[in-house]
Amino acid sequence: MVATFEYRRAASVPEAIEILSASGPDAKVLAGGQSLIALINLGLARPSVLVDINGIASLDSMEEVDGELVVGATARHAAALSSATVRRCCPLLAEAMPLIGDRQVRNRGTIGGSVAHADPVAEIPTVATCLGATMRLAGAAGTREVSAADFFVTYLTTAIGEGELLTHVRFPKSPPSAGVSFQELVRRKGDFAIVAAAASVALDSRGACADVRLALAGVDATPRFAAEAAQVLVGHEPTSERIREAARAACADIAPESDIMASGEYRKAMAEVYARRSLDQAVQRAQANARV
């Protein structure tokens, strides 16, 4: 069956919200289209109205504002990959960029599109969960801010309400001395990850862990923030054994489901391996930064 829908191109955020509000729950937003068009082609998405937001110039920015990296919803992956501002303010996001799909996907795909699609193994939602990013949503009633912990609800489902538009993602700026790492298990470069781990570690003047953030992907219906890692590491020297203990603690209670890609048991075992690798590399980079 050929998909049929009304195509509307919005020139501003208020116009996009007006169209979305008038179109009902079956309206979809088109940014890069790297996930949505595929779902339409497969018959898994049947939008009544497609609202193209690529003409809204204010949504493609990437800038530092009040100690945060504020990224517009239509900022392309490729633009983020080459951005000095992204590398300086949010090195974990910069590290994840080359792992997304291939060059064609990165040229069209958008930061906001990936966040709104909410694939639980996607790189940007995992980074957002790790760093505690905040999503800015605009609707007829005004704007509201939703933390990553509340934004990702379940598989391919977010807190975006009917008639609302994701306009910006705010990533906390990383301390200059922090070390970061994004590690993922894939069959081939550019494939969807089987599991992934994103980590950020900051050390104090004694070399002990002052702040530790770890998120796991591929182990649940949303990326999982593993607070257990911080509980093991913060206040302690990050020795190899303590890092292993932190990875074990982070994965102790996870229960991934089996699918065509991997069994749940394999995912759990690999999640611990990649959590350890990610934490270890983040610590090594934090230690190197401290010596500079």
- Residue finishing a domain among 143, 172, 201: 172
Across the beta sheet with 62-65, the strand order is 62-65, 68-72, 165-172, 134-139, 142-147
Of 129, 104, 285, residue with least CA distance to 196:
129
Domain housing 43: 6-51
Considering the domain architecture, whether residues 158 and 215 belong to the same structural domain is answered as no
Q: Are residues 196 and 94 in the same domain?
A: no
pLDDT for res 1: 59
Q: Please report whether residue 64 resides in a domain.
A: yes
Question: Alpha helices, DSSP H only, in the chain?
Answer: 13-23, 36-41, 77-81, 84-89, 91-96, 103-108, 111-117, 123-131, 148-151, 227-233, 240-251, 264-291
Q: How many domains does the chain have?
A: 3
Looking at residue 76, the DSSP 8-state letter turns out to be B
Phi and psi for 160 in degrees, rounded to 5?
-65, 125
**167 and 141: one domain?**
yes
Model pTM?
0.96
Q: Are residues 42 and 131 in the same domain?
A: no
Position 120 in a domain = yes
Which of these three, 139, 172, 205, is where a domain ends? 172
* Residue keyed to tokens 């303010």: 89
Statement to judge: residues 194 and 253 lie in one domain: yes
| Any domain includes 1 | no
Question: At which of 152, 172, 192 does a domain end?
Answer: 172
Regarding whether 189 and 168 lie in a shared domain, the answer is: no
CATH (domain of 25): 3.30.43
CATH number at residue 164: 3.30.465.10
Do residues 183 and 281 both lie within one domain? yes
SS3 223: coil
10-residue mean pLDDT profile of the chain (292 residues): values are: 87 97 94 92 92 96 97 98 97 97 94 97 98 98 97 97 97 95 93 96 97 98 98 98 98 96 97 98 96 76
Q: How far apart are CA 14 and CA 201, in angstroms?
A: 40
Q: Are residues 148 and 240 in the same domain?
A: no
Identify whether residues 215 and 275 lie together within a single domain.
yes
* Residue 68 and residue 141 in one domain: yes
- 164 and 194 belong to one structural domain: no
